[in-house]
Amino acid sequence: MENIILIGHGSPRKEANNIELIGKLLHNSIHPECSNNCVRVAYLQFAAPDISEAIKECIQNGARRIIVHPFFLTSGMHVTKDIPEMIEDAKGIYPDVEFIYTEPLGTHEKLIEIVKDRIKSAGNSAPEEIEKRSFQILSEEIDLSNVQAEHLPVIKRVIHATADFEFRKTLVFHPDAIKTGIDAIRSGKDILTDVEMVKAGINKRLLEKWGGKVICKIPSASGGTKDIRQKAESRTRAERGIESGLKENNNIGIIAIGNAPTALLKVIEIFNNSKSEISNLKSQILVIGVPVGFVKAFESKALLSKQSFPFITNLSRKGGTSVAVAIINALLKMAGEDK
């Protein structure tokens, strides 16, 4: 068995002794499916474990080959004298174990790229600069050249919010989705959400500029009469909230479902019910349906993707609050641009 030991200098400041994270990242990179503790860390001073302790732990773990890497930038006395002497001592104690000592980080072309990145990000501490830089990195790492222009701001903001490039392929748009959403915002229409978390994430400042507001009618788990509770036993709170919101508010322009598949299924049911008053207005309402989960989540989104009214969804199990909020906020920014 082979083990790796990363050696840091160590510091009296406890929070500075943090190469454990580097060890975990290295382990996940070279042994992604491994559950053994085969990458360990050690410190020269001020922190535990020290090098001899780490070597002992590796051998007790069954290691017969130990790679020692000095996590140092240059070949100073620690790298050229202190650590090699400790390894020689270990060889005398454990003659049957093979020890390999690597060079330090040293002068490497990839370190130059890291320095350049640190310099570039040093002036990007303001939130708007961080966001700008994030979108630059995003654009550098994925080819979005074939994305329809009006869909691009939505897709980019969803990927930015989730760090998940898969949404490039799974997001699905009705032909009238973007226009319907922007028209609703500019007309001062309200946004109905399935849960409070989606409501909280929407940029109220950009929405209120047009006169709209965000509404969430999810009922209290303990509220209502016995008769109401009995009727609602087969329906989720989010489902009841969506139904209530559509009945009580005739100014809904966007419905955003980020968590509850049952709420999305209820919207589709209401929109396709010819006896429902709102069914006559469904072509003027954008339904954003991106619930996350394993039960009914994909099925509800697949059903939405077949509807004739405007929608935005994603054909996978993924989704959630962050995706719904990202889509809404992208539309709000687009609405604020010149017509």
Q: Cα–chain-centroid distance for residue 159?
A: 8
What tokens does 258 get? Answer: 């980020």
Angle at 173 between CA 169 and CA 178, to 5 degrees: 130
What tokens does 227 get? Answer: 């008769």
Distance separating alpha carbons of residues 171 and 203, to the nearest angstrom: 22
Distance separating alpha carbons of residues 120 and 181, to the nearest angstrom: 36
Query: Is cis: bond before 95, omega within 30 of 0?
Result: no
Handedness of CA 153, 157, 160, 166 (dihedral sign): negative
* Partners of 157 in beta bridges: none
Tokens 């509404």 appear where?
A: 215
Distance separating alpha carbons of residues 12 and 26, to the nearest angstrom: 25
What tokens does 205 get? Answer: 């400042």
Closest by alpha carbon to 288, among 299, 279, 263, 273? 263
Q: Which are the catalytic amino acids?
A: 160
